[in-house]
Amino acid sequence: MRRGYAFSGSWTVDAPLLRVHEVLVDLEHYPEWWPQVLAVATLGADDARVLCRSRLPYTLDVVLHALHREAPRLEVRISGDLDGVARWRLTDLGRRTRLDFVQEVTVGGWLAAISPVVRPLLRWNHARMMAGCVDGLRERVAV
């Protein structure tokens, strides 16, 4: 049994597109600026294992496979505790950058089993994860 989730959001950061892109493609350093990313292990040129934990007491273990890394589009395939894709679209606003994020995933196992009851809580947890991303990214790219 699998349950699907789709998440999206748009944010603006005070940094040029190339700086934002540079930080987003550097997965190994995510734990330095994204509090919910606990660890990243490079598995090859296009692959990394990522452990992340937001506010709820469970850690997600996922493998990211880069599908597209060139600005303005970043895209990864996600496998493991989540299966699906995540995409960033970066828009150059001069000294600022707009980030549009879309993630479409399915969950299995115990998360799928409890999903009908706790879906709003899981969506809230993801929102906290992305708030940590945006806040950390804004600090990391500050020029």
Please choose, from the candidates 90, 52, 50, 43, the residue with its C-alpha nearest in 3D space to the C-alpha of residue 69: 90
pLDDT of residue 22: 97
* Residue 35, both tokens: 């509090």
pLDDT digits (tens, 9 = 90+) for 37-49: 999 999 999 999 9
First to last CA, the chain: 46
Encode pLDDT of 72-127 as tens digits: 999 999 999 999 999 999 999 999 999 999 999 999 999 999 999 999 999 999 99
- 74: how many CB neighbours lie within 10 A of its CB? 21
Residue 143, pLDDT > 80, answer no
Spatial neighbors of 53 by CB under 8 A, at least 6 apart, are 36, 38, 59, 60
Average pLDDT estimate for 9-36: 97
Taking the model in full, what pTM does it have?
0.94
State percent of the chain over pLDDT 90.
99
What is the pLDDT, as a whole number, of residue 6? Answer: 98
What is the predicted pLDDT for the residue at 64?
98
